[in-house]
Amino acid sequence: MADLPRILVVDDSRMVRMTLIKHLKGQYEVREECDGEAAWQTLVLDQSLHAVISDLQMPKLDGYGLLENLRSSKLRRLQEMPFILVSGEETEEERERARSLGVSDFVTKGAGSSEILARLNNLLALSAARENLEAGREAMVQDPGSGLFSRKYLELQAAQALAHAARYGLEVSILVLGFDTFDQVRTKLGNEVAEQVGSRFVKMLAAKVRQEDSLGHYGAGQYAIIAPGTSPVLCAAFAERVRQAVEVARVSVQGNSISLTVSVGLSSIPGDAASSAVALLELAGQRMHDAMLAGGNRIVSGVLNPGSARQMTLQHAVELITARREEAVLPHLAALGGQVLPLLRLMNQELGLELPLAEIERRLQDRAVDKK
């Protein structure tokens, strides 16, 4: 008996408790409580419990309150503990409330042993798989120095995110980011310097991603982010901020000043018709390669044209010039000059500079025409 998994049954009806215990006898060891408050105290103190089967309507603390206590607990074992609600004549709104609080499953009152055992067995098997995944998490880290997850782990995280999205109607987006000239840096400066550059980039990414996102290796000089519950529009905006930050940065490693750019591929569900999590991840990777082939330093998604020109802000232009990346500003010079002209007119008026504003404006217009 000591080797059997232990389950907590909570119901204010002794008859219901005895019925549930009869169904579970032989496969589980059962502890019982008659109200939610007593059940909560038991769950906090008894670390041997593996799951809860609870009624909804109970004195002192009902099923909603007990479930909410578990999911908001600081103890991880309680946050993730399978919680089955014994359902009677609840409305769909009440069921939806239980789902929003994190109920694992429902069983109807009067259900037979086979149904109860099947649902409980499935939940405990899933919980065990999750624990094994977490236990092997460190072993699956490809780079102990960076602490990033391996590509295999990212595939598992993507599969979990897609399953959750399908159940609750949410979006999932995946970004794959890669250095455009990583192989050249590695050839010219060696693997050690290239890895140091990658480590600095990883630290920057890790500081920007959310706790619920997963950041890991995709390939040499390439990284992937699994972003559950995030729209492709928000992910594209994030990717653009990262792209700009890398573009203006000058990385100094072992006395070498290195200028880099990144290309980004973006895929998402339900926007892209991917058959699996692996396919969605590979689609983002392919789009990253498409961005590199199109010239690099850009973002490609299902809706963004890889060859489309980006509108550069004045602030970003100044950052690029400061970083001695004037060549990146030149294609946008006409548009930027048009934005600066009002300021130049004011300076000309207030400081008496006698700038040839008409000639500057004419040349900017000619440049704009030549670029079309």
| Band of pLDDT at residue 306, cut at 50, 70 and 90 | very low
Same domain? For 165 and 286 the reply is: yes
Residue 358 lies in a domain: yes
Same domain? For 221 and 243 the reply is: yes
Same domain? For 339 and 292 the reply is: no
| Band of pLDDT at residue 337, cut at 50, 70 and 90 | confident
Reported as a single tens digit per residue, the pLDDT across 64-116 is 999 999 999 988 889 989 999 988 777 788 888 888 898 998 888 878 888 88
The pLDDT value recorded for residue 372 is: 56
| Band of pLDDT at residue 137, cut at 50, 70 and 90 | low
Q: What is the pTM of this model?
A: 0.53
Reported as a single tens digit per residue, the pLDDT across 213-257 is 999 999 889 999 999 989 898 899 899 999 988 888 877 766 777
The pLDDT value recorded for residue 142 is: 57
Same domain? For 252 and 145 the reply is: yes
Same domain? For 182 and 212 the reply is: yes
In total, how many domains does the chain have? Answer: 3
pLDDT reading at 1 higher than 50: no
Per residue, the 3-state secondary structure of the chain, as one string, reads CCCCCEEEEECCCHHHHHHHHHHHCCCCEEEEECCHHHHHHHHHHCCCEEEEEECCCCCCCCHHHHHHHHHCCCCHHHHCCCEEEEECCCCHHHHHHHHHHCCCEEEECCCCHHHHHHHHHHHHHHHHHHHHHHHCCHHHEEECCCCEECHHHHHHHHHHHHHHHHHHCCCEEEEEEEECCHHHHHHHHCHHHHHHHHHHHHHHHHHHCCCCCEEEEEECCEEEEEEECCCHHHHHHHHHHHHHHHHHCEEEECCEEEECCEEEEEEEECCCCCCCHHHHHHHHHHHHHHHHHCCCCCEECCCCCCCCCCCCCHHHHHHHHHCCCHHHHHHHHHHHHHHHHHHHHHHHHHHCCCCCHHHHHHHHHHHHHHHC
**Which is more confident, 279 or 309?**
279
Reported as a single tens digit per residue, the pLDDT across 262-271 is 999 999 998 8
The pLDDT value recorded for residue 309 is: 42
Same domain? For 128 and 146 the reply is: no
Per the structure, the complete domain to which residue 334 belongs is given by 329-371
